[in-house]
Structure 1
Amino acid sequence: MSTTRRVFCSRAATLLLAPRILLAQQPGSSRSTAHPDVAAIDHDRILTQAEHYLSQSPTPLTTLPSPHSPGTPHDFYSEADNYWPDPANPEAPYTQRSGAPNPTAFTAHRDALLNLSLAVGALTSAFVLTHEDRYAHHAVTHLNAWFIEPATSMTPALLYAGIIPPAKTGRPEGIVEGVFLAEIAQSIPFLATSESLPQPTLDALTTWFTTYHNWLTTSRIAGLARDLKNHHGSSWLLQAATCARLNTKDDAPLTALRHQFKSTTIRAQILADGTFPHEIASPNPYRNSLFNLDMLAAACDLLSTRFESVWTYDLQDGPGMRSAIARHYPFMLDRGTWPYSADLNYFTALPLRRPSLLLAARAYSRPEYADLWRRLPPDTTIPPLQRTFPISQPLLWVTRPRP
């Protein structure tokens, strides 16, 4: 592909900044590599988190009833927390506000799904590290409650996500709340190597995620989310890709998503210099740009094969993942170089240890990306930031399940 002047300048800036990372290496750290030992780096972190989640019981949606939900107790329901009622007219549609979230908005299902992803990811990673079945067993206990048990299982759809009261139907923007299903789906092949996940249970989980994939690709709400030109569209792509990867009997869904990324996603979201134009226009441009970068990077990893890499696919005038990573790397290296508006909230708490850096380091053989990934803080306890951090356990994304 031809290289535009803007792409050339962006990549040149990345090369000039790279030595700063090498100089900033901690004394005694391992040599610079594009393939860091994630298991060793995250070992203590994973086991500490897994021990914490071993003491947590499942909290499926049926244990968190919503008085306003038009669906059944099995249906995911949430209300947009940046919309507020009109005090003078309680029956009027809610209006959007920036700043603090609406404390009366129902978000318990959203928060429970995030916690499920954190728990299953940590427990699965601990099982991968130690081969101790107690971690796998507890992860499967959560999965049974959420996706298999008839009395407690979640409906494989997000019909009522992100509702703006008094409306009774969900919005395309609500689909992003299902992004944490991605790491749950990514965990399942690892758990399948445990005796705690017998074949009938594995088949039932695969059926749930296949049904959810069918909903993502056939429902009107999900279709509108797919076509959004920002992180909402990327969330749809990542969720669809992780579900499709579980269906090992049919490669057609992954092939369709690969085509979607190359023919539509890149053009809709990425400028020639790697910028995400629809993210920088949002109230939290830095956070949303990094969130979007992470989801697209994870999708690239899922959609690439030994014979075809979407990581290296660029449009003729420049846009592609290579330019997107190169554009954002300097801003993660030094947040102060961010040339756009600062986020309304939590700007100084970012960038955190972005999974896009690790995945791109491996894809492009760029050790400076991995070095920066290793040096950044791996976790946050700030809920709005947790919700824009789609991968909590990178070990599950750089490791292959044991046969």
Structure 2
Amino acid sequence: MKNAWILLLWVCSALSFANDPAFLSLSDLQRVKQQLAQHQAAAPTLDSWQQLQQQADKALKHPNPSVTDKGMLPPSGSKQDYLSLSAYWWPDASKADGLPWQRRDGEVNPASKNAQSDGVRLARFTADFQALTLAWYFSGDRRYADKALAMMRHWFIEPASRMNPNLNFAQGIPGRSAGRHDGVLDGRYFATRVVDALTLLRAAPGWQPADEKAMRQWFTDYLHWLQHSPLALEEAAAENNHGSWYCTQVAGIAWYLDDRATVTAMVQLARSKIATQIRADGSQPAELARTRSFHYSYFNLQALTAMAQLASKAGLGDLWHSRQQSGSLLDALDAIAPYSDEQKAWPWKNRDRVSQRLIPLLSIADNSLQQPRYQQWIAQAHWSTDKKSKGAVMQAQRDTWLLSLPFQQP
């Protein structure tokens, strides 16, 4: 009888995977939707909704993107294979052909950010796809869902334009490597943006059974690549943010595919990442060693916070307090939270800093723990910005006030 009850609980939990987004909070989305419909949304929520609508309206006018749009040809000979260039590598000025490229940590080579490769294209596609889906969810305007579905079919399904489910040629370095394990990081958007949007789009009027079948097959094939490719397995072993994001990417896709065993394995792997990456004082040495130390400290915690949230949702234990060797995830958040105030000086070497990016992580932590641990930092957040950081600040505001409403004391 006991075993039968355990099996029933497992089945019910597994079934919830299919209907609940991995990283988005369905209850928060429903609450925001109701607030907007009843004209009761708080000012930051209303501002975020207007920003989202503007992005979705622009996306309505964009051609449907595909990896076949790039100018470069991957070594495979097929433009349907994704290809990107490593951002921090530059031609060697002492060589006539510039080869092999040399590393300049933190200095972005513009050649990695144009239409000749797929890196920027993937980021824009997934951002627009998510924005269109959310705009449809909040407003009910079918135009947004129809456009999202058209983009999805063009990128993932249609034979002539679909992306092959691999990242064999991601973050390549001319003269050194056609693709690297670091490039697996590019695929994080499939988990953090695409699969949760797909879960919401199932309720859209234009969604077809053939869409469900095709998308599940694409992500099944891509998950197989993530679990078996030598490049991907190198990424899984990485001892910095790359390893954390591997956990998050694989877990989010496995959640979408109802693969509880893989989600469980990624929660365990994330637990080991926390143990090796975070010190007792909450510092993250591997990220602080970078020339963009604030960005990478935040970036690693973004992945681990998402994993802690997912672990809680799946009933797979507490990653927030996990402490195997030295520091915990909460230790790291405690240490970095004061730097959400842009007036507080960051004491490590650094190139850039957008302090507001920390606010969504602090909000997710409070909501998941149901504790007002970080409310003082969330409450004093300023959403004004300069031109250079405008996009990042707007995204942080949206993530906080549309997707993870700040914790309210019961």
With normalisation by structure 2, the TM-score equals: 0.78
Distance 1:193 1:161 in 2: 33
* 1:132 to partner: Cα distance: 2.3
The correspondence of residues 76-155 of structure 1 with structure 2, limited to 5 A, is 76-89=82-95, 90=97, 92-98=99-105, 100-105=107-112, 107-108=114-115, 109-155=118-164
Distance 1:46 1:222 in 2: 33
CA RMSD of aligned residues (A): 3.0
Query: Mean Cα displacement is larger for which, 57-66 or 69-78?
Result: 69-78
* Secondary structure, aligned partner of 2:231: helix
* Secondary structure, aligned partner of 1:336: coil
* 1:82 to partner: Cα distance: 2.0
* Cα pair distance change 1:366/1:318, threshold 3 Å: farther
Cα pair 2:298 2:358 within 8 Å, conserved: no
What is the identity, as a one-letter code, of the residue corresponding to 2:50?
D
Distance 1:240 1:71 in 2: 27
* Cα pair distance change 1:251/1:81, threshold 3 Å: closer
What is the identity, as a one-letter code, of the residue corresponding to 2:306?
A
Which consecutive residues of structure 1, in runs of 5 or more, have no partner in the other structure?
1-34
The correspondence of residues 84-233 of structure 1 with structure 2, limited to 5 A, is 84-89=90-95, 90=97, 92-98=99-105, 100-105=107-112, 107-108=114-115, 109-182=118-191, 183-233=193-243
1:298 maps to which of 296, 302, 306: 306
Q: Counterpart in 1 of 2:262?
A: 253
1:54 maps to which of 35, 60, 71: 60
Cα pair 2:74 2:81 within 8 Å, conserved: no
* Cα pair distance change 1:392/1:225, threshold 3 Å: farther
* 1:46 to partner: Cα distance: 2.1
* 1:152 to partner: Cα distance: 0.4
Deviations 1:227-250 (A, max 9, x none): 1111111221121111111112x3
State how many pairs are aligned. 359
Q: Counterpart in 2 of 1:21?
A: none
* 1:372 to partner: Cα distance: 4.0
Deviations 1:28-77 (A, max 9, x none): xxxxxxx8965541322222222221221211111123146444111111
Distance 1:317 1:268 in 2: 7
Cα pair 2:132 2:148 within 8 Å, conserved: yes
Deviations 1:146-178 (A, max 9, x none): 111111011111111111112343111122222
Cα pair 1:241 1:257 within 8 Å, conserved: yes
What is the identity, as a one-letter code, of the residue corresponding to 2:263?
L
The correspondence of residues 37-76 of structure 1 with structure 2, limited to 5 A, is 40=41, 41=45, 42-67=48-73, 69-76=75-82
Deviations 1:254-281 (A, max 9, x none): 111122122x211222112222110000
Cα pair 1:257 1:303 within 8 Å, conserved: no
Distance 1:379 1:156 in 2: 38
* Secondary structure, aligned partner of 1:78: strand
Q: Counterpart in 1 of 2:374?
A: 369
What is the identity, as a one-letter code, of the residue corresponding to 2:82?
F
* Cα pair distance change 1:107/1:70, threshold 3 Å: farther
Cα pair 1:82 1:101 within 8 Å, conserved: yes
Same amino acid, percent of matched pairs? 26
What is the identity, as a one-letter code, of the residue corresponding to 2:62?
Q
* 1:311 to partner: Cα distance: 3.5
| Alignment of 1:332 onto 2:340 | yes
What is the identity, as a one-letter code, of the residue corresponding to 1:123?
L
Q: Counterpart in 2 of 1:19?
A: none
What is the identity, as a one-letter code, of the residue corresponding to 2:290?
S
With normalisation by structure 1, the TM-score equals: 0.80
What is the identity, as a one-letter code, of the residue corresponding to 1:282?
R
* Cα pair distance change 1:278/1:46, threshold 3 Å: same
What is the identity, as a one-letter code, of the residue corresponding to 2:104?
R
Distance 1:149 1:370 in 2: 46
Cα pair 1:79 1:107 within 8 Å, conserved: no
Q: Counterpart in 1 of 2:277?
A: 269
Distance 1:66 1:257 in 2: 34
